[in-house]
Amino acid sequence: MDKLDCVVVGAGVVGLAVAREMALQGHETVLLEREASFGTISSSRNSEVIHAGIYYPKDSLKAKLCVEGNRMLYEYCRDHQVGTQRYGKLIVASDPQQVDDLHGIFYRAQQNGAREISLITAKEANALEPDLRVAAAILSKTTGIVDSHAYMLSLLGGFEDAGGMVAYLSPLNHARVIPGGFELEVGGADAMQLQTKYLINCAGMSAPAVAQRIEGIPADHIPKAYFAKGNYFSLAGKSPFRHLIYPVPEPGGLGVHLTLDMAGQAKFGPDVEWLEIESEDQINYAVDPMRGERFYAAIRQYWPDLKDGSLQADYSGVRAKIVPKDQPAGDFRIDGPNEHGIEGLYNFFGFESPALTSSLAIAKYLKGLIQLEQ
Ligand SMILES: Cc1cc2nc3c(=O)[nH]c(=O)nc-3n(C[C@H](O)[C@H](O)[C@H](O)COP(=O)(O)OP(=O)(O)OC[C@H]3O[C@@H](n4cnc5c(N)ncnc54)[C@H](O)[C@@H]3O)c2cc1C
């Protein structure tokens, strides 16, 4: 059996960016995907927002890779003809008691090095968005939307042009450490065995489950997976807003916010619904229309004119969490040889938002880790 340089597990946006980077570095790389196509799980069930890096704790990987990823993603999309819309975003304190919190967020954004951020008055915010109920706001000019499907298609093209190969309907079932690498059991209709020097686990919310199938990882190095569903409701008719509108955040998520798609159509969400499940295959993605009631109340805090009956249950996605409810959101976690002691193995845990924004910076960061450890 010939040995590959690298196998990446999972063709979501993170796996695609990582696999492309490995192929560009000259590694003979295979990308294994359980589903029939790329990007069908979290990478196509999100808000497509290019975040600016505002909320995350200083010096966290989320903060660093989001700020860098924002810049890299706009540059990449410009150079590869992938659509973006730089709408800008307003974080809105809708009453005066929230203004202190808003200042705290602004301070954090500055510490993170987020670009083109300013505090604006109610008058300035209403000049931009007359329908807002607002006491003060943060304006983030580099927040925007990316056509995430076109972006992933472009990453896939770059990967294949660099000599990479993708195998669909090919779940990684089992792996064991062999001298100088790994032997893999791949399932599906064309079940096969592969050998590889590097094994990179980018299986999204199933990354902990995939890690459990890799013989030799100490059990205490595999985090428990938690699942937090985010439901969206779309707005019937034309959006009254031209910016993305966010309230001051709530625990576990960013609050019921308004985002726009590439065509300017508005949707609200995602909210935060913790699921009592053990694995990804138990997820029900249907959106319960009853959750809409909470949306009306939350949205009317900053948009009092929202009319009854104008929200429709839309789609949902599930966040890849590695910390439970009621604890502060964890950071991105890349476990390499320094953590678990296995040469050539990298596990990506907790790659929830802003991993779409950060994807190119994540791939660059991994390249640095591998170079350091060679
Ligand atoms: C509701 C919601 C809103 C979000 N909004 C934003 C946003 O606006 N901006 C932003 O930057 N980020 C956002 N995110 C985060 C972003 O969507 C995800 O972090 C990102 O898509 C994760 O990509 P991934 O490649 O790690 O995971 P995924 O896209 O889930 O891909 C993992 C892949 O691994 C495959 N897989 C699993 N097990 C196996 C196996 N055994 N063998 C082979 N393949 C396997 C799966 O089939 C899947 O294709 C949001 C997330 C959610 C849930």
pLDDT score recorded for residue 111: 96
In this structure, the answer to whether residues 283 and 185 fall within a common structural domain is no
**Radius of gyration (Cα) for the chain, nearest Å?**
21
Q: Cα(first)–Cα(last) distance of the chain, in Å? A: 24
How many angstroms is it from 63 CA to the middle of ligand 1? 18
How many angstroms is it from 33 CA to the middle of ligand 1? 12
In this structure, the answer to whether residues 176 and 291 fall within a common structural domain is no
Q: Which of 9, 16, 43 to mutate to test the pocket of ligand 1 (most atoms within 8 A of CB)?
A: 43
CATH number for 28 = 3.50.50.60
In this structure, the answer to whether residues 105 and 25 fall within a common structural domain is no
The answer, yes or no, to whether any atom of ligand 1 lies below 6 A from the CB of 357, is yes
pLDDT score recorded for residue 251: 62
Model confidence over 216-248: pLDDT tens digits? 999 999 999 999 999 999 999 999 999 999 999
pLDDT band at residue 373, thresholds of 50, 70 and 90? Answer: confident
pLDDT score recorded for residue 126: 98
In this structure, the answer to whether residues 345 and 317 fall within a common structural domain is no
- Count of the separate structural domains present in the chain: 2
**At residue 374, does pLDDT exceed 80?**
no
Q: What is the 3-state secondary structure (H, E, C) of the chain?
A: CCEEEEEEECCCHHHHHHHHHHHHCCCCEEEECCCCCCCCCHHHCCCCEECCCCCCCCCCHHHHHHHHHHHHHHHHHHHCCCCEECCCEEEEECCHHHHHHHHHHHHHHHHHCCCCEEEEEHHHHHHHCCCCCCCEEEEECCCEEECHHHHHHHHHHHHHHCCCEEECCCCEEEEEEECCEEEEEECCCCCEEEEEEEEEECCHHHHHHHHHCECCCCHHHCCCCEEEEEEEEEECCCCCCCCEEEECCECCECCCCEEECCCCCEEECCCCEEECCCCHHHCCCCCCHHHHHHHHHHHHCCCCCCCCCCEEEEEEEEEEECCCCCCCCCCCEEECHHHHCCCCEEEEECCCCCHHHHHHHHHHHHHHHHHHHC
How many angstroms is it from 20 CA to the middle of ligand 1? 17
The answer, yes or no, to whether any atom of ligand 1 lies below 6 A from the CB of 353, is yes
In this structure, the answer to whether residues 231 and 137 fall within a common structural domain is yes
Burial letters for 63-82: b for 16+ Cβ neighbours within 10 Å, e otherwise? bbbbbbbbbbbbebbeeeeb
Does residue 364 sit within a domain? yes
The span from the CA of 195 to the CA of 213, in Å, is 15
pLDDT score recorded for residue 326: 87
Q: Which of 42, 85, 142, 194 to mutate to test the pocket of ligand 1 (most atoms within 8 A of CB)?
A: 42
pLDDT score recorded for residue 105: 95
Report yes or no: 227 and 321 within 8 Å, Cβ to Cβ.
yes
Does residue 258 sit within a domain? yes
CATH number for 292 = 3.30.9.10
The answer, yes or no, to whether any atom of ligand 1 lies below 6 A from the CB of 352, is yes
Q: Return the bridge partners of 91, or none.
A: 138, 246
pLDDT score recorded for residue 254: 76
The span from the CA of 249 to the CA of 296, in Å, is 17
In this structure, the answer to whether residues 219 and 174 fall within a common structural domain is yes
Model confidence over 170-218: pLDDT tens digits? 999 999 999 999 999 999 988 999 999 999 999 999 999 999 999 999 9
pLDDT score recorded for residue 157: 98
In this structure, the answer to whether residues 241 and 307 fall within a common structural domain is yes
Model confidence over 69-128: pLDDT tens digits? 999 999 999 999 999 999 999 999 999 999 999 999 999 999 999 999 999 999 999 999
**At residue 252, does pLDDT exceed 70?**
no
Domain of residue 98: give its range. 86-142+226-321
Does residue 119 sit within a domain? yes
Model confidence over 2-36: pLDDT tens digits? 799 999 999 999 999 999 999 999 999 999 999 99
The answer, yes or no, to whether any atom of ligand 1 lies below 6 A from the CB of 56, is no
How many angstroms is it from 305 CA to the middle of ligand 1? 35
In this structure, the answer to whether residues 154 and 35 fall within a common structural domain is yes
Give the number of the atom of ligand 1 that is nearest the alpha carbon of residue 319. 53
Torsion of CA 212, 214, 216, 222, to 10 degrees: -30
**At residue 1, does pLDDT exceed 80?**
no
In this structure, the answer to whether residues 334 and 357 fall within a common structural domain is yes
Model confidence over 261-304: pLDDT tens digits? 999 999 999 999 999 999 999 999 999 999 999 999 999 999 99
**At residue 253, does pLDDT exceed 70?**
no
How many angstroms is it from 82 CA to the middle of ligand 1? 19
From 327, 371, 362, select the one nearest 64 (Cα to Cα). 362
Report yes or no: 345 and 199 within 8 Å, Cβ to Cβ.
yes
In this structure, the answer to whether residues 239 and 317 fall within a common structural domain is yes
In this structure, the answer to whether residues 236 and 137 fall within a common structural domain is yes
How many angstroms is it from 43 CA to the middle of ligand 1? 4
The answer, yes or no, to whether any atom of ligand 1 lies below 6 A from the CB of 213, is no
pLDDT score recorded for residue 7: 98
Does residue 200 sit within a domain? yes
Model confidence over 138-179: pLDDT tens digits? 999 999 999 999 999 999 999 999 999 999 999 999 999 999
How many angstroms is it from 17 CA to the middle of ligand 1? 12
Sign of the torsion formed by the C-alpha atoms of 119, 63, 207 and 190: positive
Does residue 68 sit within a domain? no
In this structure, the answer to whether residues 231 and 316 fall within a common structural domain is yes
% of the chain at pLDDT higher than 70: 98
The residue from 305, 321, 337 where one domain ends is 321
